[in-house]
Amino acid sequence: MNWPRALLTDSGGFQMVSLLHLADITEKGVTFQSPVDGKPMLLTPEESIQIQNKIGADIIMALDDVVKTTITGPRIEEAMHRTLRWIDRCIAAHKRPHDQNLFGIVQGGLDPVLRDICVRGLVDRNLPGYAIGGLAGGEDKDSFWRVVAQCTATLPEDKPRYVMGVGYPLDIVVCSALGADMYDCVYPTRTARFGTAIVPEGVLKLKHKAMAEDTRPIDPTCACMVCKNYTRAYIHSLVTKDAMGSQLLSFHNLYYMMQLSRNLHSSIVQGKFPEFVCNFLQKMFPKGDIPEWVCNAMEVAEIDISSCCAPFRYIQATKVQSNLNEDEIQAV
């Protein structure tokens, strides 16, 4: 690839389960249909680590037993325990521990007891970093942030926490407030291919007819090559019709996400993180209608966002903590 900067490889587990037919998971590994010739293939923890050793990325991921959070029942517990058994096999198979950092992945669905067992098990193995997996799959936001909060509260302070598959800018801001450090998501590029740009207010759909005459840049506050050189009108003429449209929008969206990361980092370093969060939320929710789950999460993260919540909404959020019933709230 001739890529001189950092690299991270995934184990292949998620892609197999989410993208391929006939994924069958046993103690040995994951059996799936080869995308090349359709023949059955087995990916074991040992093989995944071996491949990742050859690719040579700086961070490599353990093969975990992933289940969708929308699934309930004993399968979740089975997957969590198997993930712990597999991490030992991954560690044993890892031939390059000195130049490649093997991260373990916390599983356990939405069950705090299972998550706790998994966190403790991984921390016992003293890994270079820990991922929070099994989220970003359609679970409701309220459950999502609670799992992240629980994991960040119990994972070691001095090692990176990587929330896999996250995500939307709002999700990243919330998870960062809760103590997460790393993220990955297809969202910026996928949404670009559908003609959608990520902007401070949320999203901008360049396909929309109104864009055909709009000579402003996508985001006047953005310093990327696309916003400095192109108008919404021109991008509109490209999106969904020419690959160049996808390229330019992907460029902007990725730049936006990287700028967001940079701002999160520097605002924390400068001791201005709460202000940054408020500013971010104000731009996204100018009417103050911040979703309840965000308010709840920020409360736990001890970030005061009352200045950007519309009054009624803030009361809704504190309802979580108090025992006021509806009538009593209305009366306030």
Partner 1 sequence: MKFAVKAWSNGGARAGILHLGTSTIDTPSLLLSTRKGLPHFISPDLLSCLPSPESRLLHVSPLHFLEGLSMKTISKIGGLHQLLGLHDHCFVSVPRDSIQCLPEANSTNKIGASFETPCGRLLIKPVEYMEMISSTRPELWATLADEVPAWVSDKRNKTSVDRTIKWLDECISLSPASGAVFGAIVGGSSLEERRRCAQEVATRNVSGYWVGGLGLGESMDERPALLNAVIEALPEEKPRLICGLGLPEEILQGIAAGVDLFESTYIYHLTLGGFALTFPLDRTQINALNLAPSDVGSDPRKINLRATVFRKDTMPIVEGCTCYTCRNHTRAYINHLLNVHEMLAQILLEMFFPVDKGSYQCRPI
| Alpha carbon distance 34, 319 (integer Å) | 51
Active site annotation includes 214: no
- Closest by CA position to 228, among listed 241, 240, 217: 217
Contact flag: residue 220 with partner 1 (CB under 8 A): no
Give the shortest CB-103-to-partner 1 separation in angstroms.
25
Residue 236 sits in the site that holds partner 1 (CB under 8 A): yes
# of chain residues touching partner 1 (CB under 8 A): 22
**What binding mask, one character per residue, do residues 186-215 give for partner 1 by CB under 8 A, x or -?**
--------------------------xx-x
Q: Which one from 116, 142, 181, 184 is the annotated catalytic residue?
A: 184
184 in catalytic set: yes
Please report whether residue 318 would count as binding partner 1 according to CB under 8 A.
no
> What's the min distance (Å) between Cβ of 219 and partner 1?
15
Is residue 37 a contact residue for partner 1 (CB under 8 A)? Answer: no
Nearer CB in complex with partner 1: 215/325: 215
For 213-234, the DSSP string reads G--S-S-TT--SHHHHH--HHH
Rounded Cα distance, 170 and 199, in Å: 12
| Dist CA 95 CA 40 (whole Å) | 27
Q: Find the part of the chain contacting partner 1 (CB under 8 A) among 145-153, 179-187, 226-234, 291-299.
A: 226-234
Q: How far apart are the first and last CA of the chain?
A: 61
Q: How many CA atoms lie within 13 A of 250 on its CB side?
A: 12
The minimum distance between CB 21 and partner 1, in angstroms, equals 19
Q: Tell which positions 247-266 bind partner 1, by CB under 8 A.
A: 247-248, 251
Is the CB of residue 329 less than 8 Å from the CB of residue 315?
A: yes
DSSP secondary structure letters along 20-84: SS--EE-SS-EEEE-TTT--EEEE-HHHHHHHHHHHT-SEEE-------TT--SHHHHHHHHHHH
Closest to partner 1 by CB, 212 vs 258, is 212
Residue 6 binds to partner 1 (criterion: CB under 8 A): no
In this structure, the number of other CB atoms found within 10 A of the CB of residue 25 comes to 20
List the one residue from 27, 58, 242, 304 that touches partner 1 (CB under 8 A): 242
Cα-trace Rg, the chain: 22
User: With binding defined as CB under 8 A, does residue 323 bind partner 1?
Assistant: no
Q: Which stretch binds partner 1 (CB under 8 A): 60-68, 80-88, 142-150, 223-231?
A: 223-231
Query: Cβ of residue 195: shortest distance to partner 1, in angstroms?
Result: 12
Do you know the residue count of the chain?
A: 332
Tell me the C-alpha to C-alpha distance, in Å, between residue 240 and each of 192, 225, 230, 235.
9, 20, 17, 10
The residue within the footprint of partner 1, chosen from 118, 135, 148, 238 (CB under 8 A), is: 238
As a whole number of angstroms, the distance between CA 250 and CA 124 comes to 40
- The three-class DSSP label of residue 238 is helix
Of 17-25, 55-63, 116-124, 245-253: span binding partner 1 (CB under 8 A): 245-253
By CB under 8 A, tell whether 147 contacts partner 1: no
The active-site residue out of 10, 65, 171, 219 is: 10
The yes or no reply on residue 243 touching partner 1 (CB under 8 A) is yes
Cβ-based nearer residue to partner 1, 246 or 296:
246
- Could you give the C-alpha distances from 326 to 42, 311, 316, 331, in angstroms and in order? 55, 15, 9, 9
Are 281 and 287 in contact by the 8 Å Cβ rule? The answer is no
Select 35 or 311, whichever has its Cβ closest to partner 1.
35
Pick the closer one to partner 1 by CB: 120 or 241.
Answer: 241
Residues of this chain that interact with partner 1 (CB under 8 A) are 1-2, 212-213, 215, 225, 228-231, 233-234, 236-238, 241-244, 247-248, 251
- Catalogue the active-site residues: 10, 184
